[in-house]
Structure 1
Amino acid sequence: MTEKVVALLFEKKSIRILLTFILIFTLIYLLSLTKFIFEPVGAYLTAIAVPIIGAGIIFYITNPIVNWLEKKKVPRIAGTFIVFLLIMLLITIIINFVAPVVQRQFSNFVDSIPKMVDNAERLFEMWQENQNIIPPQFENTIQNVMDNFNQYAETITSSIIGVIGQIFSFVFAFFLIPFFLFFMLKDGYKFVPFISKVLSPKKAKSFKTLTTNINHTLASFIQGQFIVSVCVGAMLYIGYLIIDLDYSLSLALFGLLMNFIPFLGPFLSAIPAIIVGFFQEPIMALWAAIVMIVAQQIESNLISPNVMGRALSIHPLTVITLILAAGGIAGFLGLLFIIPAYAVVKTIIAHFYREWKKKQPEEDPDLF
């Protein structure tokens, strides 16, 4: 009698789902108790994360070139060397032509900071003299900042020292990127067939479908975001040159890099341009904002729909929520990687859900 009751209970979908969740959370709890086993693995993955991620990003940008050369009967290893030559040529151009201009503009910007600070203090004093009533909260805030300025300076200095240490470790890992990239371009296509050999034909087919979908998702995001960001950077540079904004190349490159952050990037890149424009000439801040708005409108209405389309199929509200959460948890790196990470996880869950539905009876195919 008891066995029949248990069998009837397990036939109910709600009971099966409940037991599945209980087992998942039990597994998570057991993993948390034995996390000391996985700490060396985590340390190893952290150590190789920078070269793997860096090489992976460059791989998705350059792999179409290698594939195109392979279709033209060029051996894959020869195509890989051609890509490396193109990368070296691009780096040479940047070092010889772009870097000196950026360095000169950055030096001029640093030299002009004291003048900008003096102008800001003068503006504040003028505003203070022409105001009969200053909100007490605002005045207290300004006074608190002035009183604790030395403490803030020490905190900033210690933070800079910590960042310098991280930069050295990053630079060391950065030099490993070419080695990872070389083997990704040369042998990356062998990974799926190698894993498929140890799987049954049915599971191998499912694995190939999953990896194809993940590859398409990552390629759509990385290649599309790269093209869009380069176009935005070029438009900003042309616009800044037209309005004769100081440090135009540096600000355009900053806008290019910030555009890799979905949703928030354009707003972050507009702030320094508007500030520089304001101190150059107040009306210039308005022109800088107009250039940014025009560039973003062209990007959102013309470039992005044609380059990226709806490849990721992520709702804007979801993007905003993910960025806010990732920024609070993982900082700047979270802003960069949360959208592709979410897209990959979504692709994996959707794949296994489809596989699960195929195994269900036709009269009861839904999860709930």
Structure 2
Amino acid sequence: MLMLCAFAVATSEFIIIGVMPEVAGDLGVSLPTAGLLVTAYAVAVAVGGPVLTVVARNLPRRPLLVGLMALATGAAVLSALAQTYPLLMGARILGALAQGLFLSVASQVAIASVPEEKQTAAIAKVVNGIALSTVLGVPIGTLIGQANGWRASFVLVAALGLIGLIGVLVFCPKVDHEPEPTVRESISAFRKPAILLGLATTVLSFTGMITAFTYVSPTLREVTGFAPGWVTGVLLIYGLGTMAGSWIAGRVPPNRIARVLPFTITALGTVLLLHGLLMQTKVTSVLSLFLLGTSAFATGPLLHTFLMGQAGPASGLVASVNISAFNAAAALGPILGGAVITGGLGLGSVGLFAAVPTVVGIGVALVIAGHTRRRATAVAQPVLAGTT
């Protein structure tokens, strides 16, 4: 149910991209002005999520989840009914605030609902809802919106949100929620090197992935030679890759994440380095997209689980900030890819430049692995000495 909820709120974030010309025409605004509906949403998630996480830190988790899904569903209904641009902008920001806090709370509930050895798998399922929104929710919502008007896209989001809300009411267990630390104590968690390094790894690795993925559709058409009607079908292969990556992440125990992270990010960096070459033919492009989804969504849940484990009582705030870090990557990626294309290097070169931040992320992940290993050794030595 949490995966379905994540699917609904993430679809709400990106669905407007597919119907932006219709929105602009209907509300009488320019395309760049309509594009601000995407930017404002991302900013509201990135900024509002951590702030609301602090404000709501001591509220019971299950009722908070119910309230957030009700708010997200209501925001989708308001979006569908909005007759003016300001009203649609207000509804979008309302939904973004619900999403920013929801993903943080959902992460906490997912971890609290399973034994320790299954925590990574639980986070992977929630994250997979976000991944599937890009390859299922947005294309389907776009088709519905183009056929029946852009408001129908938000009716779809509202329906998904309502199903998720009912699912939370029926299936979500009552989760024990210990009192959160004070604001000062929560913020002090960011003094830990492992947390700062983990957040940097999120920004670096996913800036690379999003840089390539943003321009996948035009690359499939103009470089690989797929007809427009085939592009959505090929992107479903990417979706299968995200599911495979989440499955791989779920097999990693929390205490081994730091050791595994460099390998998954190296796989992601390798795919990006070869992306331009692999996109030259139809068979290898399908393989490239599958591996891109697999490596990226093996990395994402591992990073998220690792950071929450390092944060201790401040896990909610750290989870929210990590979501903000992902949104920062989502903003930086298109800029980097756009600069490559504007510079005349072409779509085939986007992957090569996308690999640069990801390769830096490999180095940071290696530092995390070394830091975690040294900490484990330092903790073990006094114990062994006391036993002796």
Normalised by the length of structure 2, the TM-score is: 0.28
Greater RCO between the two (CA within 8 Å, min separation 6)?
A: 2
